Amino acid sequence: MLGLFFKKERQLERLIYDYLENLGSIQSQFVKAMDICLEEGLCDEFCFLMEQTHKFESKADDLREEINELMYSRALIPESREDIMFLLESMDRIPGSLELILNIINTQKIIIPEFIRLDIRELIRVSMETCDLMARQVDVMLKKRVGVRSLLSNIDQNESHCDHIERRIIVKIFESDIDPFLKLQLKEMALAMGEISDEADRVSKRVNIINLKRRV
Amino acid sequence: MWSLLGGVFLGWSLGANDAANVFGSAVSSRMIKFWAAALLAALFVLLGALSEGRAGIETLQGLTSLTLKQAVISSVAAALTVTIMTFLKLPVSTSQAVVGAILGMGFYNRELDLSGLAKVIICWFGTPIGGLIIAALLYKIMAAVYNRAGIDLFASDMLLRISLVIVGSYAAYALGANNVANVTAVFVGAGTLTVFSAALIGGLSIGLGILTGSRRVMETVGRRLVRLDPFSALVVVLAEAVTVHLYTMVGVPVSTSQALIGAVIGVGLIKGIKTVSRRTLDNILTGWFLTPVVACSIAAALYFAVNLQYVPEG
């Protein structure tokens, strides 16, 4: 019934869900690209998947712009407008981080050494799981409100797990006897990978605050 | 007809100033366009004045009997008081100014309905306290329902916006029903207007004030309320409307601003936050005491001046 009068709000809701779906697509392209990179190194398929990731990342930017424009045209009350805007701003850093990792690997022609591959796989798996949890938390916050806090704690646990893996990878890199220049390149890549769960954790904390604010 | 001008001006300034108390939060936060809010407010003020304005008009005209000259003087004195207090940046209640001015005339006539006056003064004390209690109760009840309803963010957003418009319209209705007596009751007492025509002219002049003079006040003064979250702002406006409407049923014109401030304090008490500064409270108290005194003095002085006669020596 309310939807009849509030078309902008319903359109906004649809766009936010499109954004979350697009984030899932970016993640899946990123995971495929990293699998190829870990199994076959840099190849045409990796470049194709990197290109795909970039396309989805651009789409995320477009969606965010569209959402902001819609909100500026008086959709939502100012307080919700501000919350959604900051939420998208912090969520939008994740596609950027994923694209950055692929760019680092591609431009610096990094071949990931065997002794850290398992850890890298683990770091990517947990980071993607954290992003999925974050997207679910956003959905819960938009819809039901109940369950946001338990997801916050799961995301927090995952983030600390990722920090441990990231540290372990860096220690392994510097304990190995590979070329010192490669060590620095790998460290930069590991730090960028660790950043994914940090960003998801930041979004999760913001979602929790928005949810708390909505309780009266 | 010209004798009504003082009352019409009073109604205009009442509409221009008090519209912010009903739609200020919705307009200044751009939830509703000014013109939509102003039209709704003007319409509901008129509806309120015509359907429930009678009781307040009868109370005020019963305080003392006035001649047409005294009615004009008291409405001009009330209008001057409102202007002076606004110039001094003190919160002013039109109801108190009007009653103060009528009292000034009553002292001259040596005729005052003390029981009616006592009822009015008790209600003045009761307005902010009523606003406070009603806001606290409403907040508790509405928050419990709202939190349990578990509605999604978008639906809750839409609900708040619609509610602010509905509650704002109800507050405008209560404003018209309650405050129309301030504008034209003295002319009913003087026999110039019937109760119906007084409600009609009073409602129209308040509506005119809303449409032509409230924009700046709504867009700026209304922001005081937006510092509250939208849900609290909704409760505050609803509590103000219920308080004013209750006094309308009793038949006593009261100040919507005082009801509003009481409601803001009530919501603050429930939420455990300080919503009104000490300085604002001091200003309200000063305005509360000064307004009837100033209006009474101005009305008495004007009446004295108008009745001065030149007596040649020898």
* pLDDT at B130 exceeding the cut of 80: yes
Give the model's confidence band at B60: pLDDT under 50 very low, under 70 low, under 90 confident, else very high: confident
Q: Please tell me which of the candidates B29, B147, B162 has its beta carbon nearest to residue A215.
A: B147
Give the CB-side neighbour count of residue A192, counting CA atoms within 13 A.
Answer: 17
Query: Which residues on A lie below 8 Å from B30 (Cβ)?
Result: 74, 78
Q: Band of the pLDDT at B314, cuts 50, 70, 90?
A: low
pLDDT-above-70 percentage for chain B: 96
Task: Give the residue-averaged pLDDT of A80-105.
Answer: 93
A13, A79, A144 member nearest B154 (Cβ): A13
Q: Is the pLDDT of residue B90 over 80?
A: no
Mutate to test the interface with B, among A1, A8, A13, A77 (most CBs of B within 10 A): A77
Contacts of residue B156 in chain A, CB cutoff 8 Å?
214
The owner of tokens 């309310």 is A2
Q: With CB atoms and an 8 Å threshold, state whether B230 touches A77.
A: yes
pLDDT of residue B288: 83
Is B156 within 8 Å of chain A by CB? yes
Average pLDDT for chain B: 88
Tell me, yes or no, if B162 comes closer than 8 A to chain A by beta carbon: yes
pLDDT for residue B242? 97
- A205 has a pLDDT exceeding 90: yes
More confident residue, B28 or B13: B13
ipTM of the complex: 0.75
DSSP for chain B, written as a single string: -GGGHHHHHHHHHHHHHHHHHHHHHHHHTTSS-HHHHHHHHHHHHHHHHHHH-HHHHHHHHTTS---HHHHHHHHHHHHHHHHHHHHTT----HHHHHHHHHHHHHHHHT---HHHHHHHHHHHHHHHHHHHHHHHHHHHHHHHHHHHH---HHHHHHHHHHHHHHHHHHHHHHHHHHHHHHHHHHHHHTTSS-HHHHHHHHHHHHHHHHHHH-HHHHHHTTHHHHTS-HHHHHHHHHHHHHHHHHHHHHT----HHHHHHHHHHHHHHHHT---S-HHHHHHHHHHHHHHHHHHHHHHHHHHHHHT-------
What number is the average pLDDT over the span B212-241? 80
- pTM for the full model? 0.83
Q: Which pLDDT does position B220 carry in this prediction?
A: 67
Residue B39, pLDDT > 80, answer: yes
For the stretch B12-22, pLDDT in tens is: 989 988 888 89
Residue B32: name the closest of B218, B172, B209 by CA.
Answer: B218
